[in-house]
Structure 1
């Protein structure tokens, strides 16, 4: 029962401080007790801003040889369906010479597309074919070396395999896929 009178006294002091605006100051700083102290070194945290950087891009590059740079989140790298099967909304990219480097898909890369539109920036060498789902897809690619590069954009047909890059020209030059966009 002794603690109840102490609580009453503490509550009365706190209440009088709140009513009168008088507070006890900290002897070391002179700042009223219970006040927040802000120093010149205190900076507010940065605001939450989406940077659209592809999650785990470094690990994916190490494991598969595909550099995923940025995207809107509506085109995501996924495991490819079993050969001879399809999955709605999945885009399939075929590459040459990646079977050893890509220990997961062995040169086949699949992206699940969601929503009415999707985009991704990437670097994927030696692309020769893209099989599209029911989306209008464009693929921006580059070929050449040593400052002698040529860029080309391919408009792909829906729901079918599309020859791109080396498969689209007689010279059979290797192309690197730089970005994909898709719309419903």
Structure 2
């Protein structure tokens, strides 16, 4: 019987201690409204958080200025000014006078985009795959490292116009 009284007494003491702590956490107030106000103040003072949506930054500006549709990516393949000898990915499109270049970083990366009439793609030190569409058909091309690879219409027996829709790299 003595053990039972000790256990009940300890449990009651623990419950009273919990109630005292819970009451103190509310600032000694009378209800949950004050606790909610305190929680709201803490939430308002806390810094925000970012959620990555993988949308390409400033895609609207790039579309307006360069007529290039950049959709989504992981940030390891980025549109860049072409600089010879820097190890960039490069591509040629029939509708453009100049080549389009991309910088690559990290051990792997991906970028979805839309560039019509791409016919040649120069790789760098990465293993690169480009995915293209022609009508409803999808085609993938493995790009030779550090050299130009025919893609799209130049690799198609029918010479059809292809749209570049994705670039993937791995080290």
- TM-score (norm: length of structure 2): 0.72
Count of residues in Structure 1 that have an aligned counterpart in Structure 2: 139
Distance in 1, matches of 2:47 and 2:143, equals: 44
Q: Alignment partner for residue 78 of structure 2, among 72, 76, 84?
A: 76
**Superposition pairs of residues 1-184 of structure 1, within 5 angstroms:** 36=38, 38=40, 47-81=49-83, 85-88=84-87, 90-99=88-97, 106=98, 108-144=99-135, 149-184=136-171
Distance in 2, matches of 1:86 and 1:165, equals: 25
Deviations 1:5-34 (A, max 9, x none): xxxxxxxxxxxxx9xx678xxxxxxx87xx
Secondary structure of residue in 1 paired with 2:96: coil
**Structure 1 runs of 4+ off > 6 angstroms?**
none
CA 1:22–1:87 in structure 2 vs 1: closer, same or farther (change >3 Å)?
A: closer
Note the aligned Cα RMSD (angstroms): 2.8
Deviations 1:118-167 (A, max 9, x none): 110001100001000011100000012xxxx2110111111110000001
CA 1:46–1:95 in structure 2 vs 1: closer, same or farther (change >3 Å)?
A: same
CA 1:36–1:22 in structure 2 vs 1: closer, same or farther (change >3 Å)?
A: closer
Secondary structure of residue in 1 paired with 2:51: coil
Deviations 1:58-101 (A, max 9, x none): 110111121100101010100012xxx3212x1001101133xx
Distance in 2, matches of 1:37 and 1:75, equals: 42
CA 1:165–1:36 in structure 2 vs 1: closer, same or farther (change >3 Å)?
A: same
* Long gaps (5+) in structure 1: 1-17, 24-30, 100-105
